[in-house]
Structure 1
Amino acid sequence: MKVRELAVAGAFEFTPSVLPDNRGVFSELLRVEWWREILGRDLPVAQVNCTVNHRNVVRGVHFTRLVGQAKFVCCLYGSMNDVIVDTRIGSPTFGCHDSVRLDSDSLRMVYLPEGVGHGIASLAEQTTAFYLCSATYDASNEFGVHPLDPQLGIDWRGMLGGADPILSVRDSTAPPLQTVLEQGLLPRYQECLEVYRTVGAMESR
């Protein structure tokens, strides 16, 4: 397993070993010690989500306030760009974003902590995203930023080879980042750090 920290502080890319043989391939996608060694805590799994997407679908950018969902994301079929946006006020990387290509060949994965924005761009038909969540879905604690907001600077059309993103009504009517900031909806980095220290904290051994 190779691990790389992304441009958004506290978000990581995990690249597993993929072992082929005459039957197909085998790969370990999750071991508890990865979280403990890299993140310094356990990640409780309270919900598992799966989305199947047409080509050129963009989902996001979604985020939760605290205590919200940390996510561990992979692609089981097709390919997609996973986009992580730092929506935590006071973070050293606030407003920055990074993207990672996830597909069913590499089985690469992305971890993003609570309070960080998330979106995907589907690059193929039937792209299947599979992700573990540290908390269950709470509609009252779910928010979004318009994915095409120029302030985010995300080149979705470039990712999609020039095609227009296919958006849900929710995402196409989401407010820009500045509006969400003025409404006081964004989580604060220092409060996020406290969540990271306490949620999934390992018992002393």
Structure 2
Amino acid sequence: MIDDALLNAAVKEAVQQVSVWVPFLSGLGGAAILGMVAFLLARQNHSYTLDREEKAADKRQLHAQKLEEDKRHKELIYISTELIIILEQYAEDCEWVNEPNRQAERAPKSSYPVPLNYETVTGDWRSLPPDHSELFRARQDEFSLLRLKAIHLSRQLRRACGLPSSRLNASSWSAQPVMMRVLLRERKQRRCKPEGDVLTL
């Protein structure tokens, strides 16, 4: 029995020692669980806040882009209207030059139209579409033709007056041969261009 009593006493003492730690361990476990729950909730709230802020930023950016597009479109309409007025007035002025002239060939009925003045256009030029490749090709073609006509007239005047020949066609890199190559290249490209790309009026 003594062994049983000693055993009971040892068990009671162990239970008392453990029972001293149980509230501490229980409190520590509860605090750990509470800390983990608080951490997970804070993390979840942070995630929701980040998502909401990202969506709001995207919405603000889309709104800003829409405002910029609207502004650009309004500016495009404004500058296009100004350009249309100038170009159509120029076309009407050119009509008077093209009318049949009943007077002598060297006495024109009216003067040339006033050159186009784009300085009166007050709109933002950046709103216009930036593709000017067709304009540059046509410009190069027309100026090549004008230069060749000027060289031809100069050569005829030199012959009529008995002056020496011009340096403008002295070599293959002189102005006349170069302009002839440019003109021929442009005309060849225009012939090879598909029908869908032809500018219609």
> Which TM bucket (shorter chain)?
under 0.3
The TM-score normalised by the length of structure 2 is 0.21
The TM-score normalised by the length of structure 1 is 0.20
Considering fraction of residues, name the structure with more strand: 1
Higher relative contact order (CA 8 A, sep 6+): 1
Considering fraction of residues, name the structure with more helix: 2
Which has the larger Rg?
2
